[in-house]
Structure 1
Amino acid sequence: MTQDVIEAVKKAKEQSKPRNFTQSIDVIINIKDLDVQKPENRFDEEVTLPHGRGKDVRIGVIADGELTVQAKSAGVDLVITKENLEELGKERKEAKKAANSVDFFIAQADMMPLVGRFLGPVLGPRKKMPKPVPASIKLDPLLERLKKTVKVGVKTQPSIQVIVGTQDMTDDEIAENVEAVLTILDRHLEKGRNQIKSMFIKTTMGPIERVI
């Protein structure tokens, strides 16, 4: 299948009109014989793409003390301290703005009860509840991994659409990222990738190209 993916990526790039920005490349997978009404058939998992997403990932850190120092030093997009957390709990509009401004949140584990209390109603519905981490963690390796991470899941429809790179990445790199996504199907579906009904590659604003 890898060669089919490479060919589809190549065609998707060729068919896409030049734009004044670097377009993302998505894989769209439709799954057969999957009843999404059954909770056991739904899944939501994070996948680390071997060649990254090709675009910046925005990360927020909710912490106190040393962890906030590390976060600011690493240049994360949003740092929320204990004081900020309480303020956001009172300002729902600002809390929503903060939630929408980042892709992933990390939170100091001992602050999770406060996160649930003040931000849970905003982060929960957006599927952005933070990853709890110990206060002693070295943030840099975790941040690097998150920058290559995408969420892959099946919820209300038996289909998946997820970013697997950008048009300035090589066809091979994008194909290897697609393969990483497919391993999730092997893990969660009874017949693995044999349950794929159809699969397509597309750029942000270009036409879709069929893989299978």
Structure 2
Amino acid sequence: MAAKEKTLSDAFYETLKDVYWAEKQGTRSLGKAAKAAKDPELKKVFESHREESAHQIERLEQVFEIIGKTARAKTCEAMKGISEEMTEDLEDFGDTDAADAVLIGCAQAVEHYEIARYGTLKSWAKQLGFADAEKLLGETLEEEKKADQMLSDVADRNANAAGGEGEIEEEDGEEDEDEEARGELEGDEADEKAKGDKKPAKKAPAKKAAEKA
């Protein structure tokens, strides 16, 4: 018996299960991030989006109902990997000044993945004629974009507060070499100018031949 041909509806359902698992895992990761964050504003962003994610899970369950399927989660390898990376980064940077920056990077990796997935699901819902599902997915998509922007704002604020800290310094000797190179260049230019200013000496007029006696 030939295997049933896969359709866009099948892809939509499988991706929906993937995102359902990802959202649940993402909610747990946001809880860890909120606890680890040092910056009060960053901690607030994590806590706020964690509450938002709970509503996003409810929306996904509504989408399952709309398409007539049971709400089931399928392990999302991408989100699993991102979550494991966050755990490793917390172990490596948790007690350093870079901790919040690293947390923001991990959180934005989560947001970017979810933005991509929700954008795809929204597009597919429209193609499949699931108008109500398209609306629900669109609402979540906008929330994910907003969360990503908020994280970027915190990152930019922290970077500005740090000022020029972390700028790459020139190695010993590089500045001296630059000065020497500039000096040589200026010397060459001066020589060229001097050559240009020199005018060829006028030849002395030839003496007239002595008059014949």
Which structure has more relative contact order (CA 8 Å, sep 6+)? It is: 1
Higher-strand-fraction structure: 1
Under TM normalisation by the shorter chain, which class is it? under 0.3
Q: Larger Cα Rg: Structure 1 or Structure 2?
A: 2
TM-score where L is the length of structure 1: 0.24
Q: TM-score under structure 2 normalisation?
A: 0.24
